[in-house]
């Protein structure tokens, strides 16, 4: 192998990369490697989140009437609460879909008698019936009620634009997205910064759901995407090498 002004000579070939294709190659290579690294970081974050969920699932059941909880410390924890629903002040989370129908998630404060506070409970789904100007009839709420489930951040929504709640001031209040501080300010008692999602308290049931989530959206998917980006980076490098390599002309190898 030798090098002169015409490029790098090896055997009967000359490698002579041109400036513009090389600049494009470098930019694309950095982009592809960056995307692959980002997917690896996402996989690491997802693996840590699944580990936290598994640990929370195995932890003892929280008795919310006896001790307060928070989303930051107790997300995914199993919990129970007993109290009376404040059906006069309910929230409807808009733009929710279930079984192909668009509607609302019903969020109702459950007031705890032992504490001057309330836990926000997700009580189900109600479809939009006709015009959005007419609010749907909400499911009845037993009182007193005992709720068992898990601590959660609440149903996800799309982009958060504008105020969380409509400005009508009437109840139930329609929400575009969950904003615990804004919802707390609408009530005359403290409201939890999490949603209690009713469901089975059995550890194995929650674990099975976590395994399904991991299979669908877990770290393995992100690692697969990372392999794809790194493979494209390798393919791009091979193309750049081939495009900039030619057979040596007579006299160039001498």
The more confidently predicted of residues 204 and 150 is 150
Across the range 141-154, mean pLDDT stands at 88
The tally of CA atoms less than 13 A away on the side-chain side of residue 9 is 13
Percent over 70 (pLDDT), the chain: 83
Prediction pTM value = 0.63
Inform me whether the pLDDT recorded for 147 exceeds 80: yes
Percent over 90 (pLDDT), the chain: 35
- Asked if 32 contacts 226 with a C-beta cutoff of 8 angstroms, the reply is no
Inform me whether the pLDDT recorded for 206 exceeds 60: no
Across the range 49-62, mean pLDDT stands at 78
Q: What pLDDT, in 10s, does the model give residues 112-138? A: 987 888 999 999 998 887 777 778 788
Domain segments of the chain: what residues? Answer: 2-51+215-247, 62-200
Q: What pLDDT, in 10s, does the model give residues 6-50? A: 567 666 678 888 888 899 999 999 999 999 999 999 999 888 878
Residue 159 has a CB neighbour count (10 Å cut-off) of 7
Across the range 177-189, mean pLDDT stands at 90
- Asked if 71 contacts 143 with a C-beta cutoff of 8 angstroms, the reply is no
Q: In sequence order, which residues have a C-beta less than 8 Å from that of residue 232 and are 6 or more positions away? A: 32
Which sign does the torsion angle of CA 194, 197, 198, 199 carry? negative
């Amino acid at each position: 192998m030798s090098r002169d002004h015409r490029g790098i000579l090896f055997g009967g070939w000359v490698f002579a990369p041109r400036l513009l294709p090389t600049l494009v190659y470098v930019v694309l290579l950095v982009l592809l490697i960056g995307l692959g690294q980002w997917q690896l970081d996402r996989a690491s974050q997802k693996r840590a989140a699944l580990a936290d969920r598994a640990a929370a699932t195995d932890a003892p059941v929280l008795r919310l009437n006896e001790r307060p909880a928070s989303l930051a410390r107790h997300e995914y924890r199993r919990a129970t609460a007993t109290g009376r629903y404040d059906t006069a002040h309910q929230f409807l989370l808009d733009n929710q879909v279930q079984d192909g129908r668009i509607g609302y998630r019903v969020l109702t404060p459950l007031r705890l008698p032992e504490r001057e506070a309330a836990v926000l409970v997700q009580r189900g789904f109600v479809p939009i019936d006709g015009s959005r100007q007419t609010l749907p009839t909400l499911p009845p709420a037993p009182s007193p009620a005992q709720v068992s489930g898990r601590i959660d951040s609440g149903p996800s929504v799309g982009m958060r634009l504008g105020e969380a709640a409509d400005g009508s001031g009437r109840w139930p209040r329609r929400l575009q997205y969950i904003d615990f501080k804004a919802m707390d300010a609408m009530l005359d008692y403290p409201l939890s910064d999490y949603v209690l999602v009713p469901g089975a308290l059995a550890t194995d049931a929650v674990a099975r759901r976590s395994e399904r989530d991991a299979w669908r959206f877990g770290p393995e998917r992100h690692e697969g995407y990372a392999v794809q980006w790194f493979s494209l980076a390798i393919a791009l490098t091979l193309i750049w090498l081939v495009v900039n390599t030619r057979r040596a002309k007579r006299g160039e190898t001498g």
